[in-house]
Amino acid sequence: MLTRIDLRGSALPGVRELAGLLPRAATDIDSVLATVRPLCEDVRVRGAQAVREITARLDGVDLADFAVPQQAIDAALAGVDPAVRAALEEAIARVRKVHADQRRTDVTTDVVPGGTVTERWLPVRRVGLYVPGGLAPLLSSVVMNVVPAQIAGVASIAVASPPQRDHGGLPDPGVLAACALLGVSEVYAVGGAQAIAVFGYGAGSCEPVDMVTGPGNVYVTAAKRLLRGLIGIDSEAGPTEVAILADDTADPVHVAADLISQAEHDPLAGAVLVTTSEGLADAVLDLVPGQVAATKHSDRITTALEGSQSGIVLVDDVDAGLRVVDAYAAEHLEIQTRDAREVAMRVRNAGAVFVGAWSPVSLGDYIAGSNHVLPTGGCARHSSGLSVQSFLRGIHVVEYDERALADVAGHIDALAGAEDLPAHAAAVRARQRA
């Protein structure tokens, strides 16, 4: 459990080579495209009937109409555990508070007298938000997807989540309750790749969307890849992962618990400890079996921790540790070192950074106010997590008067000539007075 990689005592390799040495879950999206492509095409061609047949075959639920009735959404909220409702309400309030500060404002730049460029920020018209419901019904994902879309000003929001046989073919009641609290009334009991196809092509009462966000399994990810271009997507999410950068000041009980909590998501989840302390590594290895045995999903967690995607990396010092975690570019990165905030501010690549002993990933998963829809598989090197900005498009509005255009006509002429596009220059000359 948790294989060791010892990088001490010699110079670290370059970023690419280093990234290749580190534990990482392998996800082969291409391998499922042959399954997902005909499924999506079937939804495109046959619509709701195809969805009904696919859902019956894959989920064991035969739904004449996969749209969730409003009374079912209302009933889920009425029946939700009061403690869960209170937690959801607090999560919504905190996520709204953080994301409200992300809203962009229009800016007009006076380039020259009589010439301006205004950047307008306009929301996507309609979005489809996917909420997983396989190994765990992620009702918290409803909050993380819906809140930034609402703050961005998206006018039309639909949610899809897999039907549950234990709940009469409806999505998980907690998912429905979260939708109710957020005022989302358009919910569909459909999961997997077929849900993405419903959003992309439209089926039944669901009109096509312009963008799809939310995590999912490899089939969901493959469908997002297939439909990208027809729809916008947030990312091609892979298995979840956590990296912890720790020194000898870290509490091994905390570190072990945090590795286990992330492994709880999925047998493919990655849990990586990068540490300067062999003593900490030994203590964590000693603690993990007992903590795993005491938790509910011990088989799933054991599979994740014993997989090639998980391990302990020993480094000489914190500087080397920072190089390692930047090469890994974790979805979630915890810093449990001396001067943790200072170390955290030096991190360049991570979906989200959790600073110190009292900021575990579980906090961010639910109620810190941050967003938990984050880049995986090293994509934090170039991509951000879900935010209000994800649902906005910047549009440049160009307005020059006659004099301002005349002043640059010569430059346009020169550049159009250099590109052998004379009609570009002619379009300007046509506006010049004799």
365 known ligand binder? yes
Active-site position among 241, 264, 331, 334: 331
Query: With contact defined as beta carbons under 8 Å apart, do 280 and 371 qualify?
Result: no
- Per the annotation, does 336 bind a ligand? no
Residue 262 labelled as part of a binding site: yes
Q: Are 73 and 185 in contact (CB under 8 A)?
A: yes
Active-site annotation holds for 331: yes
CA distance 65 to 359: 43
**Is 382 annotated to bind ligand?**
no
Please report, for residues 140, 149, 164, 328, the alpha-carbon distance to residue 137 in angstroms, rounded to integers and kept in the order given. 9, 21, 10, 28
332 known member of a binding site? yes
Q: Does 130 show up as a binding residue in the annotation? A: yes
Residue found under tokens 């998912």 = 175
CA distances from 176 to 131, 212, 426 (A): 11, 19, 59
Annotated binding-site residue? 248: no
Question: 311-314 and 392-400: which strand pairing?
Answer: unpaired
194 in a labelled binding site: yes
Which SS3 state, helix, strand or coil, does residue 18 take?
helix
Closest by CA position to 4, among listed 320, 285, 263: 285
Give backbone dihedrals phi and psi of 233, rounded to 5 degrees, phi first: -130, 160
DSSP letter (8 states) at residue 27: -
Q: Rounded to an integer, what distance in angstroms lies between the CA atom of residue 251 and that of residue 260?
A: 14
Is 332 catalytic? The answer is yes
* The one catalytic residue among 167, 254, 332, 372: 332
Sheet holding 187-189, edge to edge: 187-189, 156-161, 126-130, 211-213, 232-233
Residue stretches of the annotated binding site for NAD(+):
130, 194, 217
Residues labelled catalytic: 331-332
Residue stretches of the annotated binding site for substrate:
240, 262, 265, 332, 365, 419, 424
Residue stretches of the annotated binding site:
130, 194, 217, 240, 262, 265, 332, 365, 419, 424
Residue stretches of the annotated binding site for Zn(2+):
262, 265, 365, 424
